[in-house]
Structure 1
């Protein structure tokens, strides 16, 4: 049995409360875990790339740290990533989580999946961890350092990246855009980090706006938002400026779709759901197995969530709308690494991700590997 329940009663546990939101098919029930089930069946034996996949799926390596891809050397410690449409093809961007020489590299793919080019879109920044894609097709790259910044990057390589300082100076982890309420949600990788939303003065322009922090007295139920008085946080950290702010045990990835922002916290191995339509906070996953070491998260329009592990069993786990939690894939032979940057191609036929430190597992990420998985992903529309 699960040590803790996966879903608490409240806004995300009842199907009626999810009208118009991501998990419209959810029912009020405990989630089930499975290492043999799920919509695709269990991962099989590792393939030639060391990736264990369900039947019908294949993998290939698209980049390795230190090797040339297009016009660029692939960066160390690949981390958060996202995909963008590009004519008849698409682009995958990836952060570099190294000190001082971090940044972002983009890979351009053709309609057949062939690599056309690769190039830098951000350089000289610090520990670029996760981030988020905007509806206007830019990439928000987040610095995971004290007083870190958010950089808005052009994945097409035409415009220089720009810092968006109004979004706060703190240990940024990930970002997720909510076009319905015209806000950007932000996680903070601190043991007592907060969950924020940024309200730009003009949607589509992140140069100015209001930074707010989620406030609540319990783990589930109704929440409020309060303005952060000093987002620059020179003398007092943003997370300590509002007494009523709720603190989370190490914010990691976040993903928004259909009225719900899902985010993960590594300190307690939880997946949370903020029901933006009803302004309620719920716990989606709260267990030890099969998903352990929650980190980056992405999802599909059909409601499936894909959660990458930092350590654990080096898996990407799938959480379905009917609350089944099951491994989707596993990278074998990388015991000191973590899985980062899961992102789907625009048509949903390919999933990209990285093993940040690769088989060697060195802290500098000099053996990073970036993969593509293709196959019959379900329910894309």
Structure 2
């Protein structure tokens, strides 16, 4: 069966002896599991090799033969945007949209933590003492910059987010910092902040963002979002490093596809496995692991904690980080390990559990090296059938190590960015369960420092599928435009 035909099958589930029968892209993963291939690298594909950057001829990436790329917005050197803003680093999650005249508009997160003056126009900032946000850049399919500007400022730790089909990017704050919360893992005081953080923000592509958070979608360590245009739900991941993380859904009061925006005031819920309260899904899973799920309500989604202005708040950061999740756990919500990237594709939400797949943790935290002892899992949630399935679990760091941001190609391949302390790859996972290499970081800094362990983030295809845009997430970030014969390498 062709890839297009496989992906066009109706999603569904039916009770079956010993499990659940699934359709759509799950079929390919199941067939590979039966062949014993899931969790192992398949037969070798074309090897990656050094390719010079079209910006200046330096080799920054290894790619398949015939592929080309151009980097831009390299903040190892000052970059000034059209509105006079100095571009911040920490390029992270990113979404691609159609721009005027055949260009692509990229809305890009900047995951900057700690209090400090907002970049851009401080009068527009959500919090003038928060340094994160998003920038929008207009580029050709070949990474040639045509313009760039500030599109959201005064937020914190803008990690990932999600592309919305009505023409917006939703940016996520991976923090609960605020003047009402004690210092986070950096030990830095939150007293200078003027607003609570830990929310999601809508950033329209063709008009300014209003800088108002969607508070009903929760105050927690948000990582990414994926929108189901049929059900109208926004699915949200949580990267709560030292504690179990949750998989959430937010149902806005009005369907965004009808009103053209994301409204506040909806309902937040957390995933639980039916009949198995507080199931630890961060632990290594059996083959064909499949679960029917239910959703439990979060009653107090956007807490504010008591504090005296100008003084350190009595509520600890750990207490604030787990406040929302603890409500879900009390109703049996499942435990995951560090949920990060997510992507919606034809009725399925794929999402990564960065440290999932190892031996179970002895407690629910705090865990100094992160909750989860594995090298990563990729999960798939069928929005119609309300069924969760593990589609990949890494057997070790030499195969897949700490999957982070994800996107899907026009042909249904999952594109995964790695975030580890060794070589970082962009990898592909096909609907047949085949894992293969797409790109390898071979960055060297201007001073000669080895930057090959800088993580990839923000993978997103141009609307026509020609170009894969991806970031290097580091204090000195940059963005790549990569193109070539995607079909020829199975992407």
TM superposition score normalised by structure 2 = 0.68
Mean CA deviation greater in 256-265 or 23-32? 23-32
**Who is 1:324 aligned against?**
434
1:228 and 1:135 map into 2 onto residues whose CA distance is 26
Does 2:459 align with 1:342? yes
Q: After the TM superposition, which residues 18-167 of structure 1 pair with which residues of structure 2 at under 5 Å, given as runs?
A: 18-19=22-23, 21-23=24-26, 25-30=28-33, 31=37, 33-34=40-41, 37-38=44-45, 41-47=46-52, 48-65=58-75, 66-71=78-83, 72-87=85-100, 88-99=102-113, 100-110=130-140, 114-146=144-176, 148-167=198-217
Report the equivalent of 2:230. Answer: 180
Query: Which digits, 9 at most, give the CA deviation of each residue in 1:257-305, with x for residues without a partner?
Result: 1121111112221111112222111111111242111100101232100
Instruction: Give the match's secondary structure for 1:240.
Output: helix
Provide the C-alpha distance between the structure 1 equivalents of 2:478 and 2:48, rounded to a whole number of angstroms: 20
- Which of 118-127 and 87-96 deviates more? 87-96
Residue 184 of structure 1 aligns to a residue in which SS? strand
Look up the match of 1:370: 479
2:383 maps to which residue? 276
CA deviation string 1:210-248 (max 9, x = no partner): 111001134431111111111113467111003211111
Distance 1:278 1:85 in 2: 32
Per-residue deviation, 1:29: 2.7
Moved more, 309-318 or 41-50: 41-50
**Which digits, 9 at most, give the CA deviation of each residue in 1:127-162, with x for residues without a partner?**
110001111111111011125010111223444333
Q: Which runs of 5+ in 1 are unaligned?
A: 1-9, 358-364
CA RMSD, 1 decimal: 2.5
Which range moves more in the overlay, 137-146 or 22-31?
22-31
Distance between the aligned counterparts of 2:70 and 2:108, measured in 1? 17
User: What is the match of residue 264 of structure 1?
Assistant: 352
Contact 2:143 2:480 in 1 (8 A): no
The yes-or-no answer on 1:241 pairing with 2:327 is yes
After TM superposition, give the deviation of residue 27 of structure 1 in Å.
4.1
The total of aligned residue pairs comes to 359
1-structure distance, mates of 2:13, 2:211? 38
SS of structure 1 residue aligned to 2:253: strand
CA distance in 2 between partners of 1:332 and 1:110 (Å): 24
Report the Cα offset of residue 325 of structure 1: 0.5
How far apart are residue 376 of structure 1 and its match? 1.7
Structure of greater Rg: 2
Structure 2 distance, partners of 1:25, 1:63, is 38
1:317 aligned counterpart, secondary structure:
strand
Instruction: Give the Cα separation in 1 of the matches to 2:59 and 2:210.
Output: 35
Match of 2:49, SS?
coil
Task: Give the number of the structure whose residues are more often helix, by fraction.
Answer: 2
Q: Secondary structure at the match of 1:248?
A: coil
Q: Given the superposition, is the C-alpha separation of residues 26 and 160 from structure 1 closer, same or farther in structure 2, using an over 3 Å criterion?
A: same
Write 1 or 2 for the structure with the bigger share of strand.
1
Bigger Cα displacement from structure 2, 180-189 vs 284-293: 284-293
Separation (CA, whole Å) in 2 of partners of 1:161 and 1:49: 39
TM (norm. structure 1) is 0.87
The change in CA–CA distance for 1:35 and 1:301 in structure 2 (over 3 A counts) is same
Q: Distance in 1 between matches of 2:304 and 2:327?
A: 12
d(CA) in 1 for partners of 2:139, 2:206: 12
Residues 132 and 176 in structure 1, CA contact (< 8 A), matched pair in contact too: yes
Q: Answer with 256-265 or 68-77: which moved more.
A: 68-77
Is the 1:291–1:327 Cα contact (8 Å) retained in structure 2?
no
Q: What is the distance in 2 between the residues matched to 1:221 and 1:75?
A: 42
Whole-Å separation in 1 of the counterparts to 2:206 and 2:142: 19
> Is 1:215 aligned to 2:229, yes or no?
no
1:22, CA displacement in angstroms?
A: 4.3
For 2:355 and 2:141, how far apart are their aligned partners in 1? 41
Unaligned 5+ runs, structure 2: 1-11, 53-57, 114-129, 177-196, 257-261, 282-289, 306-321, 357-375, 444-450
